[in-house]
Structure 1
Amino acid sequence: MEFPELLRLIDERSTAFSAAVAAAPALDAQVPTCPGWTLLDLAHHLGDGRRKWASIVAAGPASTPPPPVPAEPAPQDRSALLPWLAASTRQLLDALRSAGPDRGCWTWWADSESQQTSGAVARHQLQEVAVHTYDAQLTTGAPQPLPTGIALDGVEEFLATCCAGAYRWPHTPATLDYHATEGRSWRLSLTADAVRLTRSPAPTPADAALHATASDLVLTLYGRVPFDSLPLTGDRRHFDLLVAWDPDEEPLTA
């Protein structure tokens, strides 16, 4: 997606999140996909995260995150919470617009295939709000699939940011495919030398593959939908190992 489209969709999904919060009977409702969290906790997490990433983007290139900015207490009451959420989104969008897509900044995914730029932050933040909007909608009993364009980009963004990169795969080498019913596919190649992501993989069979809508693939990657509830071919143990794996514990640069 182009940078202006990412910003537009962050705003759109933020509005959808706030609409779910506004429609909830109570803010102390438990969020089924975030155990131990209420809807109020989820709203605070999203708003605080927007403000934190706004300060990271504004700080520019850095090898470590900037010191935390003193934050105003997050509102407890819905009438103040909704404007606070809107202000959090504005802070993030203003910082991103000011920086543009190519400016460097600190990110936690330095060893991954994703860039350390404000554009990559915008891409990841769109997925953050899209998945949390699903969480909020589920809490109110009206979950909706992620919009198709966001979900298609979300599969690739998650695999590039959270899986692929300069990491050692500690198990037997394997290939895993993700096939979206909308017509796109991705292959994750896991080896001791690196974990690589390929679009539109060759037709040679993978060791295991998931087949689902892009929305269900994203929700599975983020742990909202069990991966074994989706159509799966090949050896599911490879997905079990991937879910349990922490790439940050296996950097090639260590």
Structure 2
Amino acid sequence: MLRPPDFTDLLRLIDERSTAFRAAIAAAPSLDVQVPTCPEWTLFDLARHLGEGRRSWAATVAAGPAATAKSAAEGAPPAPRERAALLAWLAASTQELLDALRESGPERGCWTWWGTSQSPQTCGAVARHQLQEVAVHTYDAQLALGAGQPLPDEVALDGVEEFLSTCCATTSAWPHAPAAVDVHAAEGRTWHVSLSADGARITPVSAPGTAADACVQGTADELVLALHGRIPVESLKVDGDRRLLDLLWAWDPDE
């Protein structure tokens, strides 16, 4: 079983997935190709989003733990339309993020939008989330060229837990009857999601348990893509109360 990536691994994987993203942009017949999983965007729009986002996070990390979110717009070069220049701009965006994260180290505090989740507000957690952002958008770009490639195993396995801990865990009250869902990766990892008036809490467990009202199963790659809305939940195997899965996927704790 793969171990969770440490901070050095996270930075390496961000760099690798960013390189794969640029390879997709370089291979595209046109930057005006539509992105099926981001239907309002072309490949150029996706590239601009990815580059601007990494620059903003680099600025946020560099600003220190007492700062709020930083925008990279002021004084930053816009995404160029010419392909070679765009590729260089994307590489520079990634490097800004990696440099900021290396300078900060994993334990330093950092502003994040996931304050009530189970993910810490640290630069290490930012690196972990940034890897998933880059990995999923790399899949988007590859899919626009005809075939999205599976996420690497170490990215996908950590991606399930990262999404659940960052995007699902919350102190906002679950608006339905208390329930529990197990999320099981075919590679041998399971996470127990408990839902109650206290919110949603995520606990890694050794195997799916009888205490769960529903269990959703798939490869780690399939689970990550479903959690991020890239493939339909219906493509996963579900045991137990499927209606509960529909409620969970539709739930927005911020509403």
TM category (shorter chain) comes to over 0.9
Separation (CA, whole Å) in 1 of partners of 2:118 and 2:98: 24
- In the alignment, what sits opposite 1:34? 38
Separation (CA, whole Å) in 1 of partners of 2:150 and 2:72: 34
Greater share of strand residues, 1 or 2? 2
Cα offset for 1:247?
1.9
Cα offset for 1:79?
1.3
Structure 2, gaps ≥5 residues long = none
Equivalent of 1:53, from 44, 57, 78? 57
- In the alignment, what sits opposite 1:149? 154
Cα offset for 1:193?
1.2
Separation (CA, whole Å) in 2 of partners of 1:212 and 1:105: 33
How many residue pairs align between the two structures? 249
Cα contact 1:43–1:85 (8 A) shared by 2: yes
Q: Is 2:113 the counterpart of 1:124?
A: no
Which has the higher mean CA deviation after the structures are superposed, 69-78 or 97-106?
Answer: 69-78
Cα offset for 1:203?
2.4
- In the alignment, what sits opposite 2:212? 206
Q: Once the two structures are superposed, what CA deviation does each residue of 1:183-228 show, in whole Å capped at 9, x if it has no partner?
A: 1111110100131101015622421111110000000000001001
- In the alignment, what sits opposite 2:114? 109
Q: 1:16 is matched by which residue type in structure 2?
A: A
Equivalent of 1:80, from 82, 85, 90? 85
TM-score by length of structure 2 reads 0.94
Q: 2:152 is matched by which residue type in structure 1?
A: P
Cα offset for 1:246?
1.4
Q: 1:119 is matched by which residue type in structure 2?
A: G
Matches within 5 A, 1:1-254: 1-62=5-66, 64-66=68-70, 69-70=73-74, 71-200=76-205, 203-249=209-255
Cα offset for 1:165?
2.8
CA RMSD of aligned residues (A): 1.3
Cα contact 2:55–2:72 (8 A) shared by 1: no
Cα contact 2:61–2:123 (8 A) shared by 1: yes
Matched residue SS, 1:37? strand
Structure 1, gaps ≥5 residues long = 250-254
Q: 1:58 is matched by which residue type in structure 2?
A: A
Cα contact 1:55–1:69 (8 A) shared by 2: no
TM-score by length of structure 1 reads 0.95
Separation (CA, whole Å) in 2 of partners of 1:59 and 1:166: 27
Q: 2:230 is matched by which residue type in structure 1?
A: R
Cα offset for 1:66?
3.5
Separation (CA, whole Å) in 2 of partners of 1:44 and 1:173: 42
Q: 2:89 is matched by which residue type in structure 1?
A: W
